[in-house]
Chains A and B, each alone.
Chain A
């Protein structure tokens, strides 16, 4: 049976090409792999290999022809025993299926799924509240989860014998042993990849980056390997892993060690991104992160590690991912923040309330998925919003929240949404410049005054 040889597509974008040269003539025998022609595309001259064996029965497009469309028959291959005369009698085997039709209004993707998080669990009336540091909260979260699930292990630099560069893993080696609390060499790219691979195989790694500045070495595995895996595998392989460590500006450590990566990770589909402020949120959300079947980027803040907050004394205190916390209810203006930004926002709220402004203060806690429902409900009530964060202003979390408010609550706004962010500069070392580069409570107060037209 004769087979048509078609003008091949030789690159993802090729639509037509020139048939530069035939290397076979009619009557030649070819086997699979033989070069039969040369084709010029806009990028290169390519050789065309025969993909079947047979005899070149007829050449349909002469050499030197220009603009030959992809999939146009260029020659006919016949089998041994057939003659050229058979070609017309034999109906060529249909080798080309119709190309998929372009998607034009034919089908519509359903809209992105909205994420409806659960509410915070109700605390028992008689619950005891204890003051602990964020450090202790994180440590307890890991220890409690590791006690109940042997598949959880922690790896990172200085997490075991040194007891953690910031002492977050203090005592874990003693309790869980070196099999589950693993000191790695200084090799972020490598151990992040090893962690993701172990997660593919079903373990539940906690990968500690001493700080997220060093996770830049490993960001390929966080995004390309972990975040995209479930989607690329059609739902077959997930990566239940937590990447955690200190994020954001520390103190006087200069540009390479002071950066907030929140918006970088929050942009990536497939990741969960959590950035808690209080010890209770740090504990409840880290436990949720470890239990999550998804890859979670858990952004802590070095300057908050030693700060004490009230935490309910419960055996199983887990908070919902994707739910903002309304820290203070108010009617005049909404202040939205997360992580260390909450410090400036809280201080500003105190001053503003004292001055008679009824502030509603929201801690986002989770940055992906963003709990816009809580934010929008608040803004529809107050009509004004100021967003506070330490990260750079361009393409920031505040930019995103602001854009969504504009899209979904435009008619409710009585003033433009304002952003108070870190300044658009690498972090300077000098104490005075560093202070200037960071947001502060006075800037937040000024912004609130502006949107409430009090200034």
Chain B
């Protein structure tokens, strides 16, 4: 075995990772220190968390959500986890195992909600019943259940593991369409209002290469396999395009998204129509909505009435298109 030639920028020990956007290499210890600093900076700059917050972290069993849970606990926050069983066949079974093992090994509390057990549907069935892409039903379900679990459990903040690549890709898509409504709402903190909990994204200053490296260095076992239903979605294409730019010009993704937050988001403040809408209580579940029935309850109505659709059936259909 041969050691790497590069040295840590901070201590000159052998490096374990190169970060072209920082024009530097780091050893394990100073890489973790860099990640902690980036998260602390995001939390402080956008006033995401207070020391006395009761935090609920939405966890999927993947690298980002387990990394952010690990970092927040390490930084001293009181943080529980929330796992939503989406019913995406073996993928969901395995992802639940990773989330449970992480919580068990660290003595942390994991709240679990199962779509099939508690609402009588799953994501593949909802996709078929609504004739929409699975990511749509998945997003509606997760957003609603994150909100309701946070409120029900008395949590003051809901944390998600969205990283710099996620946010840059969403911004790229919103910009390609000049979707001012979505651009005006693409903020790392959504304050609590009208029955919605406060929601924050502490990983916005870390790339997904960095969150994956955090997990590897910290010995966190996470689900590496990609969701079978996400294959070929637009979000992945946007990430590939941004990574091609990043390769040519390191730091571009951070400049694009963090520059948007600094320079563009203030100009768009108040431009979201969603801020203006008066919200009613959903006639079925009581969640805030602009209509009579919220999007989640409309989804449950259609999906729960449909015969269960195994994920394999949906994937076979996707491949034959």
Partners in one complex: no
User: Which A residues form the contact surface with B (CB < 8 A)?
Assistant: none
